[in-house]
Amino acid sequence: MNFFRAFNMAMKSIFTNKMRSFLTMLGIIIGVSSVIILVTLIQGYTQKQMEQWYSMARDTISINVWSEQADISQDLFDYCLGLSDYITAVTPNSQSWVNNIKFRSKSIEDTTLYFGNEQYSDTMGYKIISGRDISYSDVKNRVKVVILGERVRKELFGLENAVGKVMKIMGEDVTVIGVYEAKMEGARWSQDDMMVMPYTLMRTFSQTTTINGYIAKAKDGEATNTAIGLIKTFLASKFSQEWFYNVYSQNEWQDEMSESTKMMSMVVGGIAGISLMVGGIGIMNIMLVSVTERTREIGIRTAIGARRIDIINQFLIEAATVSAFGGLLGIGVGTIGSIIAGAALIKTILIPSPFIMLGAFLFSAVLGIFFGFYPANKASRLHPIEALRNQ
Amino acid sequence: MSILIDARNISKIYNEDSEAEVKALDDVSLTVEEGEFIAVLGQSGSGKSTLMNILGCLDIPTYGSYLLNGEAVNEMKPSMLSRIRSREIGFVFQGFNLIPALTAFENVELPLIYQGTPQRERRERTALALDEVGLFERMHHKPSEMSGGQQQRVAIARAIVTNPPIIMADEPTGNLDSKSGSEIMRKLMELNNEGNTVLLITHDQKLAHMAKRIVTLQDGKIITDVTLGANRQDGREVFS
């Protein structure tokens, strides 16, 4: 008996027991859609985060020095500038929590103020959307200028052009020279909730006055590793203890993070997969009922020439069809669910990847075959005489 | 005339060597030639159903040898038995045994599907078989939409669609009124006249007398084996 015939028969039997078939499928539908939604959500979330990371932090090297043993900030800075084969930009990096920020009648509670040099924006991967960047002379002459993140700009200036306006930070007059491109629609606590100033203004706007962090932007992944090695050697010559400083790349961080989210999506997918298993057991259960109900039919088929393999095929294909149908519906529900959950939770339109969809579909069909095998085998072992005697 | 059924010293024993031992068939030998119309007559419990199951390759004997169309059936595995059933035998049962979810056409088509007949040929032969039993117009009806007589005719169509050497009918009129019953019997006689070998299992003396030969079973043994000549009756007299 060929596959198409068997499939037709399976469809017939599915449609004669609509309600039962649907309930059986429900287990698979829930299983498949929950796997799809959870995995898609995690992947979407990770991807969104990674995109932000990539845009700013790929191939950057963080250098932190905690010891006062030697004041090496100028030396370190000069050394990094000297590594021009590997490093394209380097900036001091310090930050401070500031409040009392005003423009005319408008004010905001607080935000993070970063201190850097004229290469800060390049190093961090921030784009100036209007106005200009901090210049060397701003840094050298300690000119009170600031670049605003989207959140600060939005709250203080709204529709007004911010560039060239004078605002007050901690009572000091500061001129806005530029605005960064929004990354998170100007949301509070996001990467848009910030301002950047020349680091030479630290004495005025921050309690801490020493610079103990630098960020360098390397050419590429390979240059990153080379530069880290060189900088570590340099620092080792300056400090007696290794824990006085550390040098690391954001790449390691990112790789670790993407590795851990991969793990997480597998674990969560696996947990959701348990519900798929439960759905599979549902199929096995209903197939066993079906075999018992159709004992006589199996007897008739065997009597008129069906071999064991024909009976096995019939029930396996039926189980796989129910299961694959459930899988298809599950993909539909999962896709809709992903779109809704994505919009609600991470404000992104998430479409499950074709790979997940195909995987879920194939897995559910295989599940049907796996859980259908026991009932099918049981059916095929019925003795025709006993089966025909069954009413 | 070649020998179709050659059963020698067949015994079927249930629960052998225990207190509940039952000898359903006890040393039965039977040969049937091509073109015969043979009735196996016996009361319930005489072993006639067991005999049909064995002759019909639904079961294998405990002892004895059985050659069907020259092949030793008693040594066969279940998968081989399925092939033999599919090729050599057409069954007609008392309870019709049609699959309720399938139409008449689909029921009749089933044996050909299991034989692996190509679709086009399958459809032609199915239609022919239904035409043969006069149900060509009703081929798309389900069993539940047909009378008992019609259902049994569908079963006959299913039995003859593969063109088997032997048709085995187990109490084919048992669930039918006399008019339908006589139709079914006449159909079987007609098939026999066309050259089919028919084996009829019945408890009904009158029905048995429509065959050409009557084998009577009692307590698992053949007690008489009579070939009817002029005494043979046709359906009209039996059901009048």
| Residue pLDDT, tens place only, A299-331 | 899 988 888 888 898 888 888 888 888 999 999
Q: Which of A300, A305, A385 sits opposite B59 (nearest CB)?
A: A385
**Picking from A51-65, A269-283, A374-388, B31-45, which range would have the lowest pLDDT averaged per residue?**
A51-65
CB contact under 8 A, B58 and A384: yes
Select the more confidently predicted residue: B237 or B28.
B28
Per-residue confidence (pLDDT) for residue A19, from 0 to 100: 87
Contact of B151 with B73, CB cutoff 8 Å: no
Q: Which of B56, B86, B99 sits opposite A300 (nearest CB)?
A: B99
Q: Which of B78, B102, B114 sits opposite A304 (nearest CB)?
A: B114
DSSP H or E run through A198 = strand A194-198
Tokens of A311: 């009976």
Domain of B220, in residue numbers: 3-239
Q: Does A16 touch chain B (CB under 8 A)?
A: yes
Contacts by A6-11, CB closer than 8 A, 24 or more apart: A6/A313, A6/A314, A6/A317, A7/A317, A7/A321, A9/A314, A9/A317, A9/A318, A10/A314, A10/A317, A10/A318, A10/A321, A10/A322, A11/A321
CB contact under 8 A, B97 and A303: yes
Q: Does B58 touch chain A (CB under 8 A)?
A: yes
Contact of A365 with A324, CB cutoff 8 Å: yes
Average pLDDT, integer, range B168-188: 89
Select the more confidently predicted residue: A253 or B103.
B103
Per-residue confidence (pLDDT) for residue A161, from 0 to 100: 92
Per-residue confidence (pLDDT) for residue A213, from 0 to 100: 86
By the 10 Å C-beta count (0-12 exposed, 13-18 middle, 19+ buried), B121 is classed as: exposed
Confidence band of A54 (pLDDT split at 50, 70, 90): low
Q: Which of A1, A13, A388 sits opposite B97 (nearest CB)?
A: A388
pLDDT at B93 over 80: yes
* A144, amino acid identity: K
Q: What is the pLDDT of residues A131-157, one digit of tens each?
A: 999 999 999 999 999 999 999 999 999
User: How many C-beta neighbours within 10 Å does residue B68 have?
Assistant: 25
Per-residue confidence (pLDDT) for residue A70, from 0 to 100: 64
pLDDT at B26 over 80: yes
By the 10 Å C-beta count (0-12 exposed, 13-18 middle, 19+ buried), A38 is classed as: buried
Residue B69: CATH number of its domain: 3.40.50.300
Q: Which of A304, A383, A388 sits opposite B110 (nearest CB)?
A: A304
> What span, in angstroms and rounded, lies between the C-alpha atoms of A184 and A194?
12
Average pLDDT, integer, range B113-126: 91
Average pLDDT, rounded, for chain A: 86
Question: Domains of chain A: which residue ranges?
Answer: 3-52+256-389, 59-251
Per-residue confidence (pLDDT) for residue B235, from 0 to 100: 52
Tokens of B129: 């078989």
**A window 276-305, beta carbon within 8 A of B:** 296-297, 299-305
Mutation target vs A (from B110, B162, B201; most A CBs, 10 A cutoff)? B110
Contact of B171 with B201, CB cutoff 8 Å: yes
Residues whose CB falls within 8 Å of the CB of residue B124, separated by 6 or more in sequence, listed in order: none
Per-residue confidence (pLDDT) for residue A94, from 0 to 100: 87
Range with top average pLDDT, A39-43, A221-225, A334-338? A334-338
Q: Does A314 touch chain B (CB under 8 A)?
A: no
Which of these, B152, B215, B145, B229, lies nearest to B187 by C-alpha position? B152
Burial B69-88 (b: 16+ CB within 10 A, else e): beeebbebeeeebbbbbbbb
DSSP single-letter state for residue A183: S
Q: What is the pLDDT of residues A178-206, one digit of tens each?
A: 999 988 788 888 888 999 999 989 888 88
- Which ranges in chain A belong to alpha helices (H)? 3-16, 18-57, 73-82, 120-124, 136-140, 150-157, 202-205, 221-238, 250-293, 295-303, 308-341, 354-380, 384-389
Dihedral sign from CA coordinates of A359, A362, A365, A367: negative
Q: Which of B59, B116, B158 sits opposite A304 (nearest CB)?
A: B158
Dihedral sign from CA coordinates of A14, A19, A20, A26: positive
Q: Considering only CB atoms, which chain B residues are within 8 Å of A299?
A: 97
Per-residue confidence (pLDDT) for residue B10, from 0 to 100: 92
Confidence band of B236 (pLDDT split at 50, 70, 90): low
Tokens of A353: 């990847």
> What span, in angstroms and rounded, lies between the C-alpha atoms of B226 and B215?
6
Total of domains in chain B: 1
- Residue B102 main-chain phi, psi, to 5 deg: -100, 150
Q: Considering only CB atoms, which chain A residues are within 8 Å of B120?
A: none
- Residue A107 main-chain phi, psi, to 5 deg: -150, 160
Q: Does A307 touch chain B (CB under 8 A)?
A: yes
Q: Considering only CB atoms, which chain A residues are within 8 Å of B115?
A: 305
pLDDT at A59 over 60: yes
Q: Does A309 touch chain B (CB under 8 A)?
A: yes
Give one word for A349, left, alpha or beta, with left for phi > 0 and alpha for psi -120 to 50: beta
**A window 38-97, beta carbon within 8 A of B:** none
Burial A196-215 (b: 16+ CB within 10 A, else e): bbbbbbbeebbeeeebbbbb
Per-residue confidence (pLDDT) for residue A1, from 0 to 100: 53
Q: Considering only CB atoms, which chain A residues are within 8 Å of B162?
A: 305
* Residue owning tokens 């930009």: A89
Q: What is the pLDDT of residues B193-221, one digit of tens each?
A: 988 999 999 999 888 988 999 999 999 89
Q: What is the pLDDT of residues A89-113, one digit of tens each?
A: 899 888 888 888 999 989 998 899 9
3-state secondary structure of B112: helix
Tokens of A156: 């203080």
Dihedral sign from CA coordinates of A19, A23, A28, A33: positive
Average pLDDT, integer, range A119-139: 90
> What span, in angstroms and rounded, lies between the C-alpha atoms of A365 and A324?
5
Per-residue confidence (pLDDT) for residue A384, from 0 to 100: 85
Q: CB-side exposure of A90: number of CA atoms within 13 Å?
A: 25
> Has the ipTM of the complex gone over 0.85?
yes
> What span, in angstroms and rounded, lies between the C-alpha atoms of A303 and B41?
22
pLDDT at B233 over 90: no
pLDDT at A332 over 90: yes
Average pLDDT, integer, range B52-63: 89
Contact of A136 with A102, CB cutoff 8 Å: no
Confidence band of B116 (pLDDT split at 50, 70, 90): confident
Average pLDDT, integer, range A218-222: 85
DSSP single-letter state for residue B212: S
CB contact under 8 A, A305 and B53: no
Q: Does B195 touch chain A (CB under 8 A)?
A: no
Per-residue confidence (pLDDT) for residue B232, from 0 to 100: 67
Average pLDDT, rounded, for chain B: 88
pTM metric for this prediction? 0.69
Q: Does B48 touch chain A (CB under 8 A)?
A: no
